[in-house]
């Protein structure tokens, strides 16, 4: 798959966070930040200048200049290797790439990101990791919906989960999660490609979804049906100003807020049955 990169010239952290959220709802699935720009990646066939201009116009961001360029699929790993540095989350979870030296931490995850989201550098992943560290995963069954690199599924196993289903609707993310599970010697993770033939019928102790507002709202009712009565659902990819609509949607499904973590304008929320 070939990608188009949009470079948005803004140093404003709030504008960048909002842009990420809005672009995520319009087929953009990778983001990097430099000192001058937000770089947003979208598959070539989904690149649409009119959509980008509409987002900027509706949010009164016409002062944000953007440029676009092509990024060949074969260059993606090289781009990541230039910019991906090891990260330590909550002083307990280290995430590094295979080309980095080992990192001393309670939990070390080795992640080759390729084109998948989830290296621990974005507040949404950091928030999910922090939520997970607050909970007991020992002997639990876990559904990781929108698994990306598989980083949360791998951490779930390291925290003691005994059965994890990692699901993503992008074939390259599905393949990437499988590779990363093998790289971390994960034995309890099953990766599946989410397509029309995938039917998730069993219930899980814990459901993880580090995804975006649009998909959370569309899927939360189905996820609730797949959550055991004593289960826990953790979601992220939510901006501060999305809190009310997400919480109301969860409550409508019979869920109650257990914990909320806030980080740089982003939220990670855990829910349990009321």
Q: Is residue 114 situated within a structural domain?
A: no
| 33 pLDDT tier (thresholds 50, 70, 90) | confident
Mean pLDDT within 142-163:
96
CA neighbours closer than 13 Å in the CB half-sphere of residue 15: 19
Would you report the helix, strand and coil content of the chain in percent, each value rounded to 5?
35, 30, 35
* Residue 46 DSSP code: G
Within this chain, do residues 148 and 240 fall inside the same structural domain, yes or no? yes
Q: Is residue 76 situated within a structural domain?
A: no
- Which residue segment(s) compose the domain that 41 sits in? 3-71
Number of compact structural domains in the chain:
2
**What local confidence, expressed as pLDDT, does residue 270 receive?**
97
Per residue in 37-87, pLDDT (tens digit) is: 999 988 889 999 999 999 999 999 999 999 999 876 555 555 555 566 888
Q: Is residue 111 situated within a structural domain?
A: no
| 117 pLDDT tier (thresholds 50, 70, 90) | low
Within this chain, do residues 131 and 57 fall inside the same structural domain, yes or no? no
Per residue in 177-199, pLDDT (tens digit) is: 999 999 999 999 999 998 755 67
How much is the mean pLDDT over the chain? Answer: 89
Domain containing residue 158: CATH number:
3.40.50.150
**What local confidence, expressed as pLDDT, does residue 220 receive?**
96
Instruction: Order across the sheet with 93-96: list the strands.
Output: 87-89, 93-96, 107-110
Within this chain, do residues 164 and 259 fall inside the same structural domain, yes or no? yes
């Amino acid at each position: 798959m070939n990608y188009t990169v949009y470079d948005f010239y803004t140093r404003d952290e709030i504008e960048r966070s909002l842009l990420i959220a809005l672009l995520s709802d319009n087929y953009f699935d990778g983001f990097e930040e430099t000192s001058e720009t937000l770089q947003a990646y979208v598959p070539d066939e989904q690149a649409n200048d009119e959509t980008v201009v509409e987002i900027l116009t509706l949010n009164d961001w016409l002062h944000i200049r953007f440029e676009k360029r092509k990024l060949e699929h074969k260059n993606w790993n090289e781009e990541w290797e230039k910019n991906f540095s090891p990260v330590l989350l909550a002083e307990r979870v280290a995430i590094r790439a295979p080309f980095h030296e080992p990192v001393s931490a309670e939990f070390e995850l080795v992640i080759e990101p390729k084109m998948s989201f989830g290296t621990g550098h974005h507040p949404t992943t950091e928030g999910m990791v922090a939520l997970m560290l607050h909970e007991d995963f020992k002997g639990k069954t876990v559904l990781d919906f929108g698994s990306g690199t598989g980083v949360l599924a791998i951490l779930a196993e390291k925290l003691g989960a005994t059965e994890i289903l990692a699901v993503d609707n992008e074939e390259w993310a599905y393949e990437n999660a499988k590779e990363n599970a093998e790289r971390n010697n994960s034995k309890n993770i099953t990766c599946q490609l989410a397509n029309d033939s995938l039917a998730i019928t069993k219930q899980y102790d814990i459901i993880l979804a580090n995804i975006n507002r649009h998909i959370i709202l569309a899927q939360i009712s189905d996820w609730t049906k797949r959550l055991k009565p004593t289960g826990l659902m953790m979601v992220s990819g939510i901006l501060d100003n999305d809190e009310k609509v997400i919480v109301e949607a969860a409550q409508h499904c019979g869920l109650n807020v257990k914990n909320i973590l806030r980080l740089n304008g982003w939220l990670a929320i855990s829910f349990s049955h009321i």
